[in-house]
Structure 1
């Protein structure tokens, strides 16, 4: 039976793989078992954030010393730029050990991990229904890879998606094609949004007839409560990681999720912690933090420019992208609850949770013997 193992490794720079290499040398991580690596890098999270590609290059080089190139290429590497505030740069390494079970076990379920890589898309397809449909198919493939049949058992879907650059726009226009936008920064929102709607379609959160190209990046009433999408210049396809619960998997790890209605709505997150067995009466105690494996969240400033009636200036700042403000703000709220700043908080939550809010997933170790 397969078992998931998850390792959170602090990094000192985008290309710092020393912690990963040390864990491999100590036998704590088996390179051949790695299915995905998520990472927070200290770049700006915008179009020209090459810390993401820098980190991926370093990871591929490190793993290439243990694995053939084709095996390294199968590992989903989702780097999210931006560690504003006190967010701590880190890697989250997901391993899959053992073999798939012939039949689901009777009793408790455990954390399950599925991965899929889509084909590349043309620049003119980004931010449009072509991307929505491709991602929906990719999520379904990742669910099959995880052995998850019921979409209700999926708690988080992390996607790395492409964006538009000046060169990609020029290539499309040279073919006589038009792109969704000529603003490269805005293209990040369109492709994140299309990818999130693809998750919603695959999980049955939104019906196919409710989707249209006109709605992408515009209709805030359409959203997924389990999608987290991050755009980057380092790829043209989509790398998809599905995290859920399955009785075909064993082990002590479990995942649950919550949806924040706004940037300080921590009560649903507290409820998810309690479902995972934490007391969560206040900030997690040191003993409780020992069971906390990873926290993954999305952050986005509300489009109204207000938070519970009070004006905020995130959308008016011409010096810093609003997503950078949002990452720091939501990161602070979640850090106050969990007592940890090693949080995977990703900015840009188009169609990922309600306007101004976002999904949060928590991976934790259960008590020994807990069912």
Structure 2
């Protein structure tokens, strides 16, 4: 018995618009029992008080419970990334897997998932979170049947953040937190989670990581981590995307690392490895093979982009993560010809400073 992965990109009219997913289920294109994860790009500010993420999570959870038990619905990783600035289009990416009698003939797209235990608030942004995530990534790899970290192309994580109430609970129990700045806690959680991925995949030695280097030493990074923090959960949802010879089907995945927000050439190279011509913007016929494009975005901490000054970190009205999402989505949209792209802001230790990992999921030529 083999496994086959299916990936469906479905437009969303609002954070609670699950009609496209239900239509695909009704038409038989999606078997709800096989859904393992749903990534969502939802309109909102993407910051601490972006409750559109929770609204989307609730709407998807209620929808799933119409087709499965509450326990099974809870097991589905719902990774909501807030903020569709610029031309980015709100949408869902539904990951499904099914058992099949098809014979494997080569490596195909493989998907694994897990959820960690609830993260104690004092552990957020510290090495304890790194270790928890590293263990979770290994568990998700095992769930996907991927033994070699080199076969992992993308690890998507939804991680928690701190609120003043959560900080108060930690301090009332005699604990301390890494920061009392709730917005900064988002970056710290993403940073620790990304380093957990790096440790699990052998990209960074665990011995190199200490509390003071998290969200500080940008020489430490993963080329395959994508971490998004939110108020809507207390644990970590982890989805591993890679390839395995035990899986079948036409889908595959490759990845690239952008050195900065306009560094599209590594992405073009990944497209070519997957059989796209990619000499310019993808032609309409080629776009049909491009199933999903997943990316991280970050404003470089030195305030420079190829030697020129940028002002993303100087804007007191709009978070730098919002600027970066719109900027990178525009660059990638110009390459692939549409803006239904999953771009998550805040790439601490996810790619080099100012850049970020990109995953390309496509049907083989």
1:360 aligns to what?
358
Task: List alignment gaps of at least 5 residues for structure 2.
Answer: none
In structure 2, the partner of 1:28 is 29
Deviation at 1:43, TM superposition (A): 0.7
Distance 1:21 1:86 in 2: 25
CA distance in 1, matches of 2:216, 2:109: 34
Which of 213, 216, 220 is 2:214 aligned to? Answer: 216
The reply to whether residue 5 of structure 1 matches residue 1 of structure 2 is no
What's the CA shift string for 1:13-43, capped at 9, x where partnerless?
0000000111111111111000100000001
Structure 1 position 257 matched with structure 2 position 258 = no
Q: Is the 8 A contact 1:189 1:217 kept in 2?
A: yes
Q: Secondary structure at the match of 2:313?
A: helix
Partner of 1:231: 229
For 2:129, the equivalent position in structure 1 comes to 131
1:241-288 Cα shifts (integer Å, max 9, x gaps):
000000000000000000000110000000000000000000000000
Unaligned runs of 5+ in 1: none
Of residues 194, 197, 207, the one that matches 1:196 is 194
The secondary structure found in structure 2 opposite 1:144 is helix
* TM-superposition CA deviations, 1:71-90 (whole Å, max 9, x none): 10110000000000000000
TM-score (norm 1): 0.97
Structure 1: how far apart are the matches of 2:141 and 2:63?
Answer: 28
Q: Tell whether 2:340 aligns with 1:342.
A: yes
Q: Write the distance in 2 (CA, Å) between the matches of 1:196 and 1:100.
A: 36
Deviation at 1:208, TM superposition (A): 1.1
1:331 aligns to what? 329
Determine helix, strand or coil for the equivalent of 1:316. coil
1:110 aligned residue (91, 104, 108)? 108
After superposition, give the CA deviation of every residue in 1:72-109 in whole Å (9 maximum; x if it has no partner): 011000000000000000000000111699xx94x420
Alignment partner of 1:16: what SS? coil
Give per-residue Cα distances to partners, 1:130-183, cap 9 Å, x unaligned: 100000000000000000000000000000000000100000010111100000
Q: What is the DSSP-based 3-state SS (H/G/I as helix, E as strand, rest coil) of the residue aligned with 1:91?
A: strand
RMSD over equivalenced CA pairs, Å: 1.0
> Where does 1:39-188 land on structure 2 (aligned, <5 Å)?
39-98=40-99, 105=104, 107-188=105-186
What is the rounded CA distance, in whole Å, between the counterparts of 2:148 and 2:186 in structure 1? 30
Change (3 A) 1:216 1:100: farther
- The 2-side partners of 1:354 and 1:100 are apart by 42
Name the SS of the counterpart of 1:80 in structure 2: strand
- 1:280-295 matched pairs, under 5 angstroms: 280-295=278-293
Q: Secondary structure at the residue paired with 1:181?
A: coil
2:14 corresponds to 1:16: no
The 8 Å contact of residues 100 and 248 in structure 1, kept in 2 or not, is answered as: no
| Aligned-partner Cα distance in 2 for 1:175–1:35 | 36
After superposition, the Cα gap between the structure-2 partners of 1:269 and 1:13, relative to the gap in structure 1 and judged at 3 Å, is same
1:11 and 1:19 in contact (8 A); partners too: yes
Q: Count the aligned residue pairs.
A: 364
- TM-score with structure 2 setting the length: 0.99
SS at match of 1:296: strand
User: 1:111: how far off?
Assistant: 0.2
Q: Distance in 2 between matches of 1:259 and 1:86?
A: 22
